[in-house]
A and B are shown apart, each in its own frame.
Chain A
Amino acid sequence: MRHLLSAGDLTRDDATLILDTAEEMRSLADRPIKKLPALRGRTVVNLFFEDSTRTRISFEAAAKRLSADVINFSAKGSSVSKGESLKDTALTLQAMGADGVVCRHGSSGAPHLLATSGWMTGSVVNAGDGTHEHPTQALLDAFTMRRHLGSLEGRRITIVGDVLHSRVARSNVLLLSTLGADVTVVAPPTLLPVGMSSWPCTTSYDLDSVLPKSDAVMMLRVQRERMNDAFFPSAREYSRRYGLDVHRMAQLPDEAIVLHPGPMNRGMEISAQVADSTRSVIVEQVTNGVAIRMAVLYLLLSGSPETSTTSTEEQTA
């Protein structure tokens, strides 16, 4: 594992290794000194071409807790606004000696291009690319679910909302199915992408029929900034049919939890009472995000660059 570009690249062993490592990283939060020396002397560049609060801060906190040097780059206020290409930005990072690059980009596939073009030698972590993937979000969701539900094998997990524009949904479906969960995606027909039949999950248009059979339900944000078309008649109608309010939440089994990748549109896909209820693990997801990103950065960057290897090799080493 040299880069983390897609949740679909992870085998079950890889994913389990990351989750187990994150479990150890999480215990750091209880210590007086929240710092580990694992990445001392390594440089991590947060390369953010798209706005982000929690993902960037989370990666920054993760890298700093592992003692890496962090350079934050956002497209606004950089040479990108003067028209610099991705290639020239990558060459600059290479010249500065970046060991790891955390990349968020509005275009699907940009991190893949960075990783495979040969422009730079560092490890690339995909922090969200267009409407494609967001693997660390899927990992932190799986981690949060595993902490509450135990093994995800055979667990029924429901993902609701704007799947068409959601990189979180795609990464989650791929990862959760790798981990053995039964995933159901619920959305209005207009918000499901073409080719859903090839995804390892089932689909439904009716939230009420799925909720009683869900161990965890993940609400997706309605991404207004990506909506250049009329995908549903009105926000109110969407909220009535696909929003999670207290009445709908009552249909969930007793132990079921509610997740949301954030940022939330309260009153749209999730009501304020649900977001603040005891079933909601939304704040915990943020805490777990730091642990997951520490685990990913540790596993990608701590070893020697020449002998970086997959987790399976390493376990037999």
Chain B
Amino acid sequence: MSPAPMPQSPDTQAAPRTVLDASDISRALTRIAHEILERNKGADPVVLLGIPTRGVGLAARISERITAVEGRSVPTGSLDVTMYRDDIGLKPARALEHTDIPPGGIDGKVVVLVDDVLFSGRTIRAALDAIGDIGRPKAVQLAVLVDRGHRELPIRADYVGKNLPTSLIERVTVHLTEYDGDDAVVIADKPADKSGDKPVDETARTGASA
């Protein structure tokens, strides 16, 4: 399950590059927290929902920063989209992640979805469907740590930590201390044997079941 860096085959693979280090990530999240408050005129209507796995950790960090600025906490939860994915019938059954909707619900709130990497947009499409089954928010916004491009659906992020132009043969991995022991965003070439057509990219991007 853990997206530990792929073991590099000795031949043609370029060494993984770190594009954001711990302090870059920290600054980006602080800025996103302020942007969320600015755009929504305070923390009042905001509910943060992280998309497992790493979106949940990022949502918690943004939540801490909002609390520090506003002096009050915002409801923060997690939203598993596994069963709403469009490729669910194409791959082996996957374990579900935890969905945790804050007690106040999402009706009439501004839901800010939080994910680590925005790529094809299919995860967010699935998340929008999942939200539709849970309630009717006033608005849905999207915060991502990295936008790596290559969208396959008309979806864009409202808050972006870093725009990272990538090629499709690259693999972007976000490490967070809670899950991986360090904070970093790493780009590596995808190992040749693992590369397939597009839908595989989606999984490779965050490890297992983003």
| A residues with CB within 8 A of B | 17, 20-21, 24-25, 27, 31-33, 35-38, 41, 66, 298-304, 307-309, 311, 313-317
Contact = CB atoms under 8 A, between A and B. Distances in A.
Contacts of A307: 91-92
Interface in B1-60: 1
Contact of A27 (B1, B92, B99): B99
Task: List 3 A-B pairs, minimum CB-CB distance, nearest first.
Answer: A303-B93, A38-B83, A303-B92
Contacts of B192: none
B80 interface: yes
28 contacts: A17-B95, A20-B95, A20-B96, A21-B96, A24-B96, A25-B96, A27-B99, A32-B135, A33-B133, A37-B83, A37-B84, A37-B129, A298-B83, A300-B93, A302-B88, A303-B89, A303-B91, A304-B91, A307-B92, A308-B92, A309-B92, A314-B92, A314-B94, A315-B1, A316-B1, A317-B92, A317-B94, A317-B203
Interface in B73-99: 80, 83-84, 88-99
B99 A314 contact: no
A304 B133 contact: no
Interface string B131-156: 00111000000000000000000000
A188 to B, nearest CB: 43
A317 B83 contact: no
A302 B82 CA distance: 11
Nearest to A38: B83
Contacts of A31: 133-134
Given A37-B84, A303-B94, A315-B1, 13 more contacts: A25-B96, A31-B133, A36-B83, A37-B83, A38-B88, A302-B83, A302-B88, A302-B89, A304-B91, A309-B93, A314-B92, A315-B95, A317-B94
B208 interface: yes
Interface size class of B (residues with CB under 8 A): 20 to 34
A182 B84 CA distance: 39
Contacts of B92: 303-304, 307-309, 313-314, 317
A218 B76 CA distance: 40
Interface string B117-135: 0000000000001000111
A314 to B, nearest CB: 5
Contacts of A35: 133
Contact of A304 (B1, B90, B96): B90
Given A35-B133, A38-B88, A302-B88, A24 B93 contact: no
A5 B91 CA distance: 23
B93 A299 contact: yes
Contacts of B208: 315, 317
Nearest to A21: B96
A308 B94 CA distance: 10
Given A302-B89, A303-B89, A24 B98 contact: yes
Contacts of A304: 89-92
A17 B98 CA distance: 13
A31 B136 CA distance: 12
Interface string B95-113: 1111100000000000000
Contacts of A314: 92-95
B49 to A, nearest CB: 14
A309 B80 CA distance: 21
A302 B94 CA distance: 8
Interface in B146-193: none
Contacts of B203: 317
A52 to B, nearest CB: 26
Nearest to A308: B92
Contacts of A21: 95-96
Q: In this complex, which of B90, B96, B134, B135 has the most chain A Cβ atoms within 10 angstroms of its Cβ?
A: B96
